[in-house]
Amino acid sequence: MYPRPRRRRALAAVSVLLLGALLSPMATASASPAAPETPESARIDLVLDLSGSMNENDAGGETRLAAAKQAVTRIIDTAPEEAPLGLRVYGATYPGEDKKRGCADTQQVLPVSPMDRPARAAAKKRVAGFKAVGFTPIGVSLRAAAEDLGAKGERRIILVSDGDDTCAPPPPCEVARELKAQGIDLAVDVVGFRTPSSARAQLKCIAKVTGGSYADADDADSLTADLGALFRKAWRTYHATGRPVAGSLTGCQDAPLVTPGQYLDRFTGGRDLYYRVKKRPDQLLQVSATAVAEEGYGRGSLITVAAGPPGDGEPRAWLREFEQSMGWANVITTGGRSKPGSDNEKPAPGDVGCIMVENDVTDSGDKPMPVELLVGIADRTTRAAGAPTPKPRTGADAEGGFSFNSATPIGPGTHRQSIAVGEAPFWRVELKAGQKLTVRAGVDIPADFPNTGGTTGWNLDVYNAQRESTQCNEKNDSTELLTGRRGHIERVCGPWEITEQDGAKSSDPKGYDVPGTYYIQAQIAEPDARAKGLVVPISLTVDISGTPRSGNGPVFSFGDDAAQGPSRPGTNGNGGTTTAAKHEDSPLEKLALPAGVGAGVLLLGGIAFYALRRRTAA
């Protein structure tokens, strides 16, 4: 079901025509109002070619076998603990010439099971001992892998092969059709590793008939990147995290008290969410909310955050921010801060105010939708340095993360990797007042990229420290349409100067008035399933110029478990373990680009599409 937008008394009527389609499955909420759950991970069986041709020394200066071991070891290292992963090989044990024996040479060396620490260690030991000696029974191995995965839930086979099936019949593409015809909820993704053109059509056919993806790899780095993209796509997209909380549906009077930190709640029906928060008049408040859709929602959907003293009406005396959904969004995110200065402050009785997250996304009967709530408090007189910022990452470690919390810290320079079409990775940069930010994102579109009829685009978005989407450039054009285009295509956001909001000044409508953590997101968005999952190389260039000014702005505390990007796996920058890091950082930040969350502004053929933002303080 697709949630439908509603209009409330708090929002002005807006006439908007919006274009786009949600591209990726999202995290689902629990049926329990108190504890939203993460979705059950897809069951995956990796099928690896260990035929004799894998001993060839043409994979970037090493054997194909060595490159495959490296790539598979990284997948094992970075798999989420809860992700059921299995490994099957073929051509690994029989070195002789008897075709009957050679074509039966397929073994499940790792059962499909969660990757806890013992399973991870055992799997890596098995991979280290792999030898490539035999035949190439692809079709037989696909049938066996389907049995490995069982008959329930979402299942995927990821096949790595360097050539033709030397054991057909059965032809591997016919086996793929056979599995699909059985009604099995199973897709086969394929990586052709140094594959000759004669075998490529066969491997592409396997992916096509099962609704999977195909990618080519020529060396260890590209194989690792391609496998990482395919596994991320299968495991999860945006991973909503936070301490479970159940906001009140009836107003502030019976709302739970929240302290600085990140929380995970859910929109149910068309109900708003309320929370209490303690804030003295000499303190400032930041509230950010991110609604995460499992399926597409009405393209006129809005989310609003507001806060102020509780009363008969809606709280908004401290802050009010709202954001309208964008063309390819599967999240709507917005946030705001109360403004310094006595004229902007209205004390609350007992210093306990109310936060409201207004839900104009779902209606009665719609599926529950996870909502991240980030709460921060700052003393106006505090000017000391905040928590240590994470060290920027480079190379393979700079691959994007799956959400705001797992956004990968990067610095100035060009960062390259591969992503699957439909993925939407996050990075983060630290910015000070006086600096200027320019972001350039490029994608290399291959000659055989499907022409999807005018609705595929290369998208670049920047979110500010309040987790609100900012203006990309003077035209606010963050999307480059790809219809009929091939080769290198770039989008540029900026340059924008980071200012520092003064008490008497209103917020910069471009959204670059708050120094701190800024988030970058890139995506190839495509409503057409023919392009989904294709792996393409991208580049992300960040330029930070200008001279930082000594800041007078307040330092916000978001709690120990509200990591806005851990400095290293499992920590929040202060040495404490974070909720988000436990579930995301170690597996997701190491994988090449997460899948998932595109937010862009699309102008297409006369259809106008606007992002709506209003900032007011009573």
Number of CB atoms found within 10 A of residue 196's CB: 11
In the predicted model, what is the mean pLDDT of residues 179-188?
Answer: 78
**pLDDT above 50 (res 605):** no
**What's the confidence (pLDDT) of residue 17?**
24
Q: What is the pLDDT of residues 459-472, one digit of tens each?
A: 898 999 999 988 88
State the Cα–Cα distance between residues 390 and 393, nearest whole angstrom. 9
Q: Is the peptide bond before 170 cis (omega within 30 degrees of 0)?
A: yes
Least confident segment among 171-185, 276-290, 401-415, 426-440: 171-185
Q: What is the pLDDT of residues 166-183, one digit of tens each?
A: 998 889 999 999 988 876
Residue 395: CB partners within 8 Å, gap ≥ 6? none
Q: Is the peptide bond before 244 cis (omega within 30 degrees of 0)?
A: no
Percent of the chain clearing pLDDT 90 (strictly above): 35
Q: For residue 406, which of 167, 570, 603, 210 has the smallest C-alpha distance?
A: 570
State the Cα–Cα distance between residues 597 and 563, nearest whole angstrom. 19
**What's the confidence (pLDDT) of residue 480?**
78
Q: Which residue has the higher pLDDT, 604 or 151?
A: 151
State the Cα–Cα distance between residues 445 and 31, nearest whole angstrom. 41
Q: Which residue has the higher pLDDT, 326 or 111?
A: 111
**What's the confidence (pLDDT) of residue 223?**
86
Least confident segment among 181-195, 227-241, 376-390, 601-615: 601-615
What angle is formed at CA 177 by the lines to CA 175 and CA 182, rounded to 5 degrees?
100
- Give the CA radius of gyration of the chain: 25
The residue whose two tokens read 């890139």 is 522
DSSP states of 26-45 as a string? -PPPPSSTT---PPPPPEEE
Q: Read off the tokens for 500.
A: 């520092």
**pLDDT above 80 (res 484):** no
Instruction: Tell me the H-state helices in 79-137.
Output: 99-102, 117-128
φ, ψ at 218 (rounded to 5°)? -115, -15
Q: Read off the tokens for 54.
A: 């894998």
Instruction: Sort strands 319-324 and 369-379 into parallel, antiparallel or unpaired.
Output: unpaired
State the Cα–Cα distance between residues 348 and 190, nearest whole angstrom. 59
**What's the confidence (pLDDT) of residue 31?**
29
Instruction: Sort strands 186-193 and 487-497 into parallel, antiparallel or unpaired.
Output: unpaired
DSSP class of residue 255 equals P
**pLDDT above 70 (res 382):** no
Instruction: Sort strands 43-49 and 84-90 into parallel, antiparallel or unpaired.
Output: parallel
**What's the confidence (pLDDT) of residue 76?**
84
Contact 461, 469 (CB under 8 A): yes
Classify domain 43-235 by CATH architecture.
3-Layer(aba) Sandwich (3.40)
State the Cα–Cα distance between residues 520 and 467, nearest whole angstrom. 11
**pLDDT above 90 (res 308):** yes
What angle is formed at CA 197 by the lines to CA 192 and CA 198, rounded to 5 degrees?
105
Element (H, E) at 579: helix 579-580
Q: Which residue has the higher pLDDT, 61 or 335?
A: 335
In the predicted model, what is the mean pLDDT of residues 520-541?
Answer: 76
**pLDDT above 60 (res 586):** no
The one-letter code for the residue type at 549 is R
**pLDDT above 90 (res 388):** no
Q: Where are the domains of the chain?
A: 43-235, 395-604
**What's the confidence (pLDDT) of residue 4?**
35
**What's the confidence (pLDDT) of residue 455?**
65
Q: What is the pLDDT of residues 360-375, one digit of tens each?
A: 888 888 888 899 999 9
Element (H, E) at 541: strand 535-545
Instruction: Indicate the average pLDDT of the chain.
Output: 76
Instruction: Sort strands 457-463 and 516-525 into parallel, antiparallel or unpaired.
Output: antiparallel
